[in-house]
Amino acid sequence: MENILNIFIKSVFIDNMIFAYFLGMCSYLAVSKTVKTSVGLGIAVTFVLVITVPVNYLIDTYILKKGALVWLGKGFAEVDLSFLSFMIFIAVIAAIVQIVEMVVEKFSPSLYNSLGIFLPLIAVNCAILGASLFMQEREYNNMGEVISFAFGSGIGWLLAIVSLAAIREKMRYSNVPAPLRGLGITFILTGLMAIAFMGLMGIKL
């Protein structure tokens, strides 16, 4: 239990998707103009992460890893399909995003109206594929750790995009040098926020 909480805190604050690995920057920069839309996108990303990463974890442990196919028979102990992981992961993500979109549209039209426009964007968001690849690389032991990592990464991404959007809303009233306006100042702001987040490094529960 302690371990799971530790992974959660670590993936929210220390290994933050945006500030430590720059994943999902494209939509992070494009959608962070107002707080309202950025909250919507953040929730959608968290939602998709919590579904796709555990599914990819199951596929990785039972199909792709070296020796994972041993449940089919002894002859499969040497089979290593891990070179296929990129393609399988991206296909799973694209398919799940599509399914989530259809399910949400069917059962909760109000949620669909607020999240719907963001869902197709998410299929090619680096943060989603990145989380699956990190999951594969860091070799988590069980499902609980994987879910905690996925949820934590999503919350960290949400935190980053909402705080940037809030700062950008305030910044409309400040006098930024003309060539730095818009994109330039956003990069420098993100850099400063990342420095602030580095103060949390080394926290351990």
Partner 1 sequence: MLITLRKTLNNMDTKIKVKEPLFSAKNMKLITSPIGKNNPVIIQVLGICSALAVTVKLKPALVMALSVTIVVSVSNLIISSMRSYIPERIRIIVQLVVIATLVIIVDQILKAYAFDVSKQLSVFVGLIITNCIIMGRLEAFALYNKPWQSFLDGLGNGAGYGLILIIVSFFRELFGSGTILGYPVIRKLGLYSIGYENNGLMILPPMALIILGLLIWLQRSRNKSLIEQK
Which residues of this chain interact with partner 1, rule CB under 8 A?
19-26, 29-30, 83-87, 89-91, 94, 123-126, 128-130, 133-134, 137, 172, 177-188, 190-192, 194-195, 198
Rounded-to-integer distance, Cα 44 and Cα 41, Å: 5
Q: Which is nearer to partner 1, 166 or 171 (CB)?
A: 171
Mutual angle of helices 143-171 and 35-59, in 10-degree steps? 160
- Say if CB 13 and CB 203 are below 8 A apart: yes
Whose Cβ is closer to partner 1: residue 67's or residue 184's?
184
For partner 1, which is the closer residue by CB, 74 or 172? Answer: 172
Which one, 92 or 155, has the nearer CB to partner 1?
A: 92
Give the pair of three-digit tokens for residue 204. 């351990």
> How many DSSP H helices and E strands does the chain contain?
9, 0
Q: What's the rounded Cα separation, in Å, for the pair 47 and 41? A: 10
Of 111 and 198, which CB lies nearer to partner 1 in the complex structure? 198
Please give the Cα distance from 152 to 59 (Å, whole number): 21
CB of 19 to partner 1, least distance (A): 7
Provide the minimum distance between the beta carbon of 172 and partner 1 in the complex, in angstroms, as a whole number.
8
Closest distance of CB 74 from partner 1, Å: 27
Q: CA 26, CA 147: separation in Å to the nearest integer? A: 25
- SS3 letters for 87-120? HHHHHHHHHHHHHHHHHHHHHCHHHHHHHHHHHH
Least CB distance from residue 21 to partner 1, whole Å?
A: 6
CB of residue 137 to partner 1, shortest distance in Å:
6
CB of 1 to partner 1, least distance (A): 28
Instruction: Say how many C-beta atoms besides its own lie within 10 A of residue 155's C-beta.
Output: 22
If the CB atoms of residues 2 and 137 are measured against partner 1, the closer one turns out to be 137
